[in-house]
Structure 1
Amino acid sequence: MTSIDLNMLVVLDVLLTEQSVVRAAQRLELSPSAMSRALARLRNVTGDQLLVRAGHSLVPTPLALELRGKVSAVVADAQNVLRPSIRLDLASLERTFTIRANDGFIERYGARIAALVEEQAPLARLCFAAKPDKSGSMLRDGIADLEVGVVSNMAPELRIQALFRDKFVGVVRLGHPLVEGGMTAERYAAYRHISVSRRGHAFGPIDDALRERGAKRIVSVIVPSFPDALALARMTDLVANVPERQTDATRAGMHTFSLPVATPDVTVSQIWHPRLDGDCAHRWLRMCLRHACSDAPETLQ
């Protein structure tokens, strides 16, 4: 049986993450020529090109995509086995944790997370970063420690832990005509709506559900965040549609109602790169988020 150099798993993991010989060489402190030779060895062992040229960049082959999550998990498990057990001293922990999350989550849970961190690790610092997209590159590159949101199109190697479920509700200003009377799909669709989309999309699951009922709403305004939608709805006759739990405080002084059509619940999760699985401080941070979100009746343990 031909022996396999297990160190090549680390090289393969970095190559598939970076998709660049130069960047992979920099991360492993090797020369580009040494990394090119390592890639050639990996191609020989697997019988696959793994990374192929596409213009000025490299893209993974189907086999590479299949291997990426498996290799990353194996490398992370091996690092955890070899990492010495170190007791985490929260009182002396000096570290900045960067969490990517949308405005609604930060407004609802940011203060609670910050209070937990301050109480247990007074020298640690939280940096809440904007989340203009759902790319996992900031997690892979170590720029962000955690990302919070609804999972979709995430890199397969990333770790995901559900925090809670949320559902969408309708919101209008007090005194709005929809406050009085029964709510039907026709009445709901008769008023102009606000769509929340970072990419500028006007329609989504609500419109699909309305279409099944033979109704169609008019979207007059598109905004990038739920707090923006609520601010507009508070001052106009526009209808906002927002996640119930993440906007609990922001909806104060407004009228909230159940949507007249069924829409899927959303699961809000925390996401991180597997290289941080065994990091004691990072595990503590994830525990803080779980605890901060535990007020929700639909929290997922």
Structure 2
Amino acid sequence: MSKRAENPLGYEPIAPLMLKYAIPSIISGLVGAIYNIVDQLFIGRGVGMLGNAATNVAFPLVTFTIAMSLLIGVGTASNFNLQLGARNEEKAKRIFGTGISLSIIFGLIITFFAIMLLPKLLIIFGSTEEVYPYAIEYASITTKGTLFLMASIVFPILIRADGSPRFAMIVALTGAILNMILDPIFIFIFNMGIAGAAWATVISQAVSTIMGVYYFLVKLQSFDLTRSMFNPVQKCSRFSCALDIFKLGLSPLVNHFSIMIMTIVLNQSLNYYGKLSALVAQYPWLWSE
């Protein structure tokens, strides 16, 4: 195997690798958590309580997309590194190209069905009459960026598997920080309301996607991308590469799918029991705009 195809996961000591890969992942996770809190603060201040509720109602669709992204990203990265470790460079290339192809295909499929079924989905997810106008305005924008959301999750995972955890961290941090910058600009300065928060999310995910594409075209370490790598039918008989990816990515898929179900059940429960709460009569101003 050529020097270009060597991956630090194959020859560096385990302890330094743990630090090299764990620390950027922890930082990305912390910044992502802070972003979610700050994002809700901006929406709460600029739009109000119904804006926060609208993002929560749209969250199951986001969770489903994240679940599918992890199915593809984790499955691809795991198989990719296993094949590189076995010195099977050609199979590693096919796995890598199949993973990128699947992320694009699934992103487009989810986008299509989400746009077609969005009004019904929001009701299933727990939207009320008061929340629905905000939820449909927010989700109708974010669903158009589903492909960017999926790519912004899958690409950093593949970049990390290629041996560049720092660049993967930079991709994730850039999207989160840019979103925190655009939120107040769109919500308060441009007075776009909940739509501003949605566009800030889509734009930041698009930037992360562009950074991932740049890495694959310019900085990929293991090999150079070729057009034939993105044809899973030709290179993987009976979709064997895709099946390998799905097998190793099943665990995070099930985990996040469970979170989606839990969120839907919680939203529906709050809709029912919230109306029965004594707080509604005691503090009516909390439920008025």
User: Normalising by structure 1, what TM-score?
Assistant: 0.24
Structure with the bigger percentage of strand: 1
Query: Which has the higher Rg, Structure 1 or Structure 2?
Result: 1
